Structure 1
Amino acid sequence: MTYEVLPVGDDQWSIVAWLWQDFRHDLGTVVNGFPLPDGRYRHEWLDAYPAPDRSGYLAWAPHPNTGEPAPIGFALVRGLLPDPELSRDERLMQAFFVVPAARRDGLGRSFALDVISRHPGLWAIPFQHDNTAARSFWPRVATEAWGAEWTETTEAVPGRVDVPPDHWIRSR
């Protein structure tokens, strides 16, 4: 599948918001997530975009029925400016999503690598323990991006003693 990765334009955040609902729906079985009373899923992370230390990307491909450009995924990255409160200056893949119909052909891997390559430096990629797709996807991406120069650790989810710790991949 041919596709193009572009920064989210000022007038395209509503597109990301629509895809965000699909992203959170996908995670619903992993995080036991229900929609809020208004029918939407949690979106506070998305609400923090755009910002000077954050960037978003959309992956676009021709729609299979119309040929028109269609959004097939998004990535949200934060930590693009130094933060004196953090112990290390790193970019964080805060959210990453590819629509189900565009998965399984390597597009997600190349999309993730494209986004990582746009922001040189140290990276952190967190994901939930019970997200089995992410647990196989992100280590492969890390190896391709950084070779053996990465680690995977687990960290407790703040305020959630009832869930397994998150996994964190960090480049070195």
Structure 2
Amino acid sequence: MEIKLVPVKPEEKSTLSNLYQLYHYDFSEFTNQDINKDGRYEVNIDFFWEGDHRWKPYLIEVSGSLAGFVIVLLENLDTDPDPTHVIYDFMIIKKFRRNGIGYAAAIKAFELYEANWKIAQMENNTPAISFWRKVIKDFTEDNYIERFRDDVKKYVQAFSTKQ
């Protein structure tokens, strides 16, 4: 089983936008986001390609099949030549969950960049908290910092992949 992260080209924006519908559907359990009158979630990802080079969207493929996506944000790139990298959004289609694909895709994302990293999860999203703690603990050999940000009600893990 081959797991690949494939950069999303501007002409593939509709594919990522469609996946975001599934993402928001899954995530609505934690956000209480409503769909619009057309039965869709309001999704606008145009800014990923509109001259803002901080956004790095990737499709996750498993043996050639689309399995999800990961969005890496190079936070503060406009002011810092060594920006912190953030997993901004991450989604694995349910068919591919609970068999190591999300874990492997997350590791591949970390391996793309030598950088300082931050990953955040909403306080009420306990499955995401458990997932990211395990991935980060294993990947860093337990060499990371976690804190709870009460102002935004999120857990945040920080670590580095710099040599």
1:8 CA drift (Å): 1.1
List structure 1 segments (4+ residues) > 6 angstroms apart after TM superposition.
none
Paired residues of 2:3 and 2:104 also in contact (CA < 8 A): no
Paired residues of 1:149 and 1:171 also in contact (CA < 8 A): yes
Distance 1:94 1:56 in 2: 10
1:135 aligns with 2:129: yes
Distance 1:128 1:89 in 2: 23
Distance 1:32 1:83 in 2: 32
Letter in 2 for 1:166: K
Flag structure 1 segments of 5+ consecutive residues without an equivalent: 63-68, 158-164
| TM-score (normalised: structure 2) | 0.85
2:111 aligns to what? 117
- Identity within the alignment, %: 23
1:169 CA drift (Å): 1.1
The number of residue pairs the alignment matches comes to: 157
* CA RMSD of superposed structures (Å): 2.2
2:16 aligns to what? 16
1:54 aligns with 2:55: yes
SS in 2 for 1:59: strand
Deviation readout 1:31-84 (Å, 9 max, x if unpaired): 11111344322435x33213311101111235xxxxxx4311100011167342
| TM-score (normalised: structure 1) | 0.81
Paired residues of 1:61 and 1:72 also in contact (CA < 8 A): yes
Flag structure 2 segments of 5+ consecutive residues without an equivalent: none
Name the stretch that deviates more: 30-39 or 108-117: 30-39
Distance 1:139 1:43, change over 3 A: same
SS in 2 for 1:34: coil
Mapping for residues 75-114 of structure 1, pairs under 5 Å: 75-79=70-74, 82-84=77-79, 89-114=83-108
1:39 aligns to what? 39
